[in-house]
A and B are shown apart, each in its own frame.
Chain A
Amino acid sequence: MNAISPVAFYAFAGLALAFALLTVLKKNPVASAFSLVMVFFSFAGIYALLGAHLVATLQVLVYAGAIMVLFVFVVMLLNSDAPSFDLRRTPLLFRVAAAVVSLAFVVLFVRVFKNTGSFAPAGAFTREAIDAAGGNTQVIAELMFSEYTLPFELTSVLLLAGIVGAVALAKRHAGVKADERKGSANVASG
Chain B
Amino acid sequence: MLPAVEPWVVLSFSSAIFFIGLFGVLVRRNLLIILMSIELMLNAVNLTYVTFSHQLASMVGQMSVFFIITVAAAESAVGLGLVIALYRTLKTVDTDEITLLKD
Contact = CB atoms under 8 A, between A and B. Distances in A.
Interface of A: 1, 3-7, 9-10, 13, 16-17, 20-21, 23-24, 29, 32-33, 36, 39-40, 43, 46-47, 50-52, 54-55, 58-59, 62-63, 66-67, 70-71, 74-75, 77-78, 80, 84, 86-87, 89-90, 94-95, 98-99, 102-103, 105-106, 109-110, 113-114, 116, 119-120, 122-127, 129, 136, 139-140, 143-144, 148, 151, 155, 158-159, 161-163, 165-170, 172
- Shortest 3 CB-CB contacts between residues of A and residues of B: A162-B74, A3-B4, A86-B29
Question: Chain A at the B interface: mostly helix, strand, loop or mixed?
Answer: helix
Interface string B62-88: 110111011111111110111111011
Contacts of B65: 52, 55
Contacts of A54: 62, 66
B101 interface: no
A143 B59 contact: yes
Contacts of B50: 47, 50, 52, 55
Given A46-B10, A140-B66, 18 more contacts: A29-B33, A36-B39, A39-B17, A39-B43, A52-B53, A62-B70, A62-B72, A70-B76, A74-B83, A95-B27, A102-B26, A105-B15, A119-B56, A123-B58, A125-B57, A125-B58, A151-B67, A169-B82
A31 to B, nearest CB: 10
Nearest to A47: B50
30 contacts: A1-B57, A4-B54, A5-B5, A6-B3, A17-B16, A23-B40, A24-B24, A24-B40, A29-B30, A36-B40, A39-B17, A43-B46, A54-B66, A59-B69, A66-B73, A70-B76, A71-B32, A71-B76, A80-B32, A87-B27, A89-B29, A109-B15, A119-B55, A120-B56, A123-B56, A123-B59, A144-B63, A155-B70, A166-B80, A169-B82
A118 to B, nearest CB: 10
Contact of B77 (A43, A87, A166): A166
A179 B79 CA distance: 29
Interface of B: 2-5, 8-13, 15-17, 19-24, 26-30, 32-33, 35-37, 39-40, 43, 46-47, 50-51, 53-59, 62-63, 65-67, 69-78, 80-85, 87-88, 93-94, 96
